[in-house]
């Protein structure tokens, strides 16, 4: 069980909305002392850095989930720009390679405000066949391990991983490596399009540092109440968590 993570605020709400107004409406229901939030490619592409700054200014720790993947110089500059927006965490694709991750890490080191920097290993949407199509003959879990080790060597703070990979990564990468896990569903909730889901309690128990939760909260009739229900479930097993 990973409780070495001293951070008690483990939930990241995915702000998967098409516009700023729906985003603001949800944020009014959330407490920045209790949870963090994530902005991904859709909302960022629609609303841009000004919304990121607005959310950061309103007190939320923000994970800017843009999964940068490009030549080292470009990714370094993109990470520097993300750091400049005041985000709490941002990410790159580990498949961009050693030099790219080192450039990303150097950008964080040089920044005044230093976000956590994590890597995506193998997208959970990729099957073994998909990997073969792009020339990767290793089983997905081995590829995940390989890229997680490389990410660690390049100074990444952690990786995004599926619930199925959490335990293996926690054991091999140690207690301080940040593991961010999507595909979380409170007991009894609909899986939506997620194939392998785990409950918040099981994800923390397997070693996850942060849980990304989207639709169970964002589509709930009362998002604040739904989040409280999740906190209650977590408190039952982990009284120290928010
Ligand atoms: O609504 P739901 O809880 O399924 O949202 C999960 C969030 O995590 C979405 O923003 C999705 O893009 C992201 N994500 C994921 N699976 C991954 C990586 C990211 O669901 N492997």
Ligand 1 mean position to 36 CA, how many Å? 15
Judge whether 6 counts as a catalytic residue. no
**Atom nearest to 193 CA in ligand 1:** 4
Max CA separation in the chain (angstroms): 47
Q: What residue owns the CA closest to ligand 1's atom 5?
A: 214
Q: How far apart are the first and last CA of the chain?
A: 17
Atom of ligand 1 nearest to the CA of 160: 18
Q: Does 126 contact ligand 1 (Cβ within 6 A)?
A: no
Q: Are residues 115 and 87 in contact, defined by beta-carbon separation less than 8 angstroms?
A: yes
Atom index in ligand 1 nearest the CA of residue 14 equals: 10
Kind plus residue range of the DSSP H or E element containing 64: strand 62-68
Which residues, in sequence order, are bridge partners of residue 178?
158
Instruction: State the helix-helix crossing angle for 140-153 and 98-110, rounded to 10 degrees.
Output: 40
Share of the chain above pLDDT 90, in %: 87
Active-site choice (57, 67, 77, 195)? 67
Q: What is the pTM of this model?
A: 0.95
Q: Please give the distance, rounded to the nearest whole angstrom, from the Cα atom of residue 62 to the centre of ligand 1.
A: 15
Architecture of domain 11-233: Alpha-Beta Barrel (3.20)
Give Cα separations from 58 to 52, 55, 113, 132 (angstroms). Answer: 10, 5, 17, 45
Helix, strand, coil % over all residues of the chain, rounded to 5: 45, 15, 40
Q: Is any ligand 1 atom within 6 A of the Cβ of residue 229?
A: no
Is the Cβ atom of 61 under 6 angstroms away from ligand 1?
no
Q: What does the pLDDT look like over 55-105, one tens digit per residue?
A: 999 999 999 999 999 999 999 999 999 999 999 999 999 999 999 999 999
Mean per-residue pLDDT of the chain: 94
Which residue has the least CA distance to atom 8 on ligand 1? 182
**Looking at ligand 1, which residue's alpha carbon is closest to its atom 14?**
182
* pLDDT of res. 197: 86
Q: pLDDT band for position 4 (50/70/90)?
A: very low
Summarised one tens digit per residue, pLDDT across range 100-150 is 999 999 999 999 999 999 999 999 888 899 999 999 999 999 999 999 999
């Amino acid at each position: 069980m990973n409780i070495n993570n001293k951070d008690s605020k483990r939930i990241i709400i995915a702000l998967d909305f098409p516009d700023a107004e729906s985003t603001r409406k949800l944020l009014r229901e959330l407490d920045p002392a209790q949870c963090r939030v994530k902005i991904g490619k859709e909302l960022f592409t629609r609303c841009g850095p000004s919304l990121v700054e607005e959310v950061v200014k309103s007190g939320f720790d923000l994970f800017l989930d843009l999964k940068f993947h490009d030549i080292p110089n470009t990714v370094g500059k993109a990470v520097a720009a993300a750091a400049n927006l005041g985000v709490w965490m941002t990410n790159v694709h580990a498949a961009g390679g050693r030099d790219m991750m080192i450039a990303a890490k150097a950008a964080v080191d040089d920044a005044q405000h230093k976000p956590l920097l994590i890597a995506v290993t193998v997208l959970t949407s990729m099957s073994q066949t998909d990997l073969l199509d792009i020339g990767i003959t290793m089983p997905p879990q081995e590829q995940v391990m390989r890229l997680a080790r490389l990410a660690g060597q390049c100074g990444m703070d952690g990786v995004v991983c599926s619930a199925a990979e959490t335990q293996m990564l926690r054991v091999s990468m140690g207690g301080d490596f940040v593991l961010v896990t999507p595909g979380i569903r409170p007991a009894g909730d609909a899986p939506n399009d997620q194939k392998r889901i785990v409950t918040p309690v099981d994800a923390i128990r397997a070693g996850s540092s942060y849980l990304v939760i989207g639709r169970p909260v964002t589509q709930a009739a009362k998002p604040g109440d739904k989040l409280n229900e999740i906190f209650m479930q977590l408190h039952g097993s982990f009284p120290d968590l928010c």
